Amino acid sequence: MFWDQELETLPRPALEKLQLKRLQDTVRRVSQNVPFYQQQFAALGIKPDGIKSLDDVRRLPFTTGVDLRATYPDGLLAMTRDHSVRLHTSSGTTGKPKALFFSAKDVDNAAELIARSLVMTGITRQDVFQNMMSYGLFTGGLVMHYGAEKVGCLVIPAGPGTSDRQLMLMQDFRTTAIHILPSYALYFAGFLEQKGIDPRKDLALRKAFVGAEPHTEETRKRIEEAFGIDVYNSYGLTEMNGPGVAFECEHKAGLHLWEDNYILEIIDPITCEPVPDGQTGELILTTLKREAMPILRYRTRDITSIIPEPCKCGRTHCRLNRITGRSDDMLIVRGVNIFPQQIERVLMSMPQVGRNYVIILEGLDDMTVKVELSAVGFDGQVEHLTALQSQLVEKLRAELLVKPKVDLLPPGSLPVAEGKAKRVVDKRSI
């Protein structure tokens, strides 16, 4: 299914021509209206009329999260505040937040990308869409809400948490699609089990859209098996409008990044040099249609790679592999670089393991993985527990090249949250 088939299947030469025109317009606008970029351009000797090809994007300066915080609250605005209609911010957990302004066109365009993304997974105006993400300064809730409404869905702005209410809404209004955190989806599956609810028989759910926190393919499969539905991965970030930057189609074979709105690059995060298609690196994004706050070459810190082969769905916009982690989420343990998702991938591949876990780092470099056992499918005999523990230690050692300690816990032992899960607790000495 297509929302805008002509644009989504635009031949590559025409798509790249459109990108270049929009890039040139964006560079011209920021050079005229944004002092931050004026200073950067002057230092690098960049003239707007010097952008002649898409390769010239590499001449432009990077923009980082530090830059967004340094120019807070409105130092990157390309229009006056009275022409902006919405403000979103990051959490600000590391100091000042990153403030992102939207014009009316920006709001509509963000919703348009969501509509495009939802339709390519098979969502129609007949669907009842329960939005279980946070509303407010976080972009995920509102942007997805507007996009689902644009498709014509009946949207239920449930917000996060309050599982009893979520279940009531699903039952009373026959919810068919949900937007949910992957960790909360796992938690909610356990909640339904405790209530004696079989999602396949007792609910009308058919699709879920997960995002806003990293998760593995193994976690996706866990959610699909628990609910008996199709689960689609989405990618977005506040700095780029929120969700809808890239989305899976019905084939679930990579995330189509909407190249009429963004120029993507994959670089080596250390050397900042481009890497070949198929090779892993840091994702860099440049906005092409943003009115209020265009951003050039934003360093997302997200690690991924381009899938060079065309997709069976016929869309020409390139695909990204699943985000494997963030460069700033990387843990260094005994000199080895480790992403938490590597640990999750091993744990979620084991049917004897439950849905909740936590990684604890303490002392100098001691790692303990505490993980709950599955409530079903494991008999709990001591010799079997010992064998499972040894198996997990060896699988993790092979994946991480570091041997962790593994603690197996009864189901329900670890604290749970109805919001984002805290998977890493770092108590190491500084």
Q: Kindly report the three-state secondary structure assignment for every residue of 200-217.
A: HHHCCCCEEEECCCCCCH
* Bond before 73 cis per omega within 30 degrees: yes
pLDDT for position 429: 66
pLDDT for position 328: 67
User: In which residue ranges of the chain is pLDDT below 50?
Assistant: none
Asked if 176 and 148 count as a contact pair (C-beta separation under 8 A), the reply is no
Q: Which uninterrupted H or E stretch holds 263?
A: strand 262-267
3-state secondary structure of 409: strand
Sheet strand arrangement including 281-287: 262-267, 281-287, 298-304, 325-326
> What does the DSSP assignment read for 328-352?
TT-EEETTEEE-HHHHHHHHHT-TT
Q: What is the pLDDT of residues 338-381, one digit of tens each?
A: 888 888 888 988 888 888 899 999 888 889 999 999 876 566 67
In whole angstroms, how far apart are CA 329 and each of 10, 245, 340?
36, 21, 8
Q: Residue 16 carries which side chain, given as an amino acid letter?
A: E
pLDDT for position 92: 57
What token pair was written down for 357? 């876990």
What token pair was written down for 8? 């989504």
Q: What is the DSSP letter of 151?
A: H
pLDDT for position 275: 96
pLDDT for position 337: 81
pLDDT for position 415: 83
Residues 331-426: name the CATH superfamily.
ANL, C-terminal domain (3.30.300.30)
d(CA 106, CA 294): 10
- Nearest CA to 91 among 419, 413, 318, 344? 419
H helical segments located in 313-423: 340-348, 382-400
pLDDT for position 376: 65
pLDDT for position 251: 97
As a CATH number, domain 1-329 is 3.40.50.12780
Cβ neighbours, 10 Å, residue 136 = 10
Domain map of the chain by residue range?
1-329, 331-426
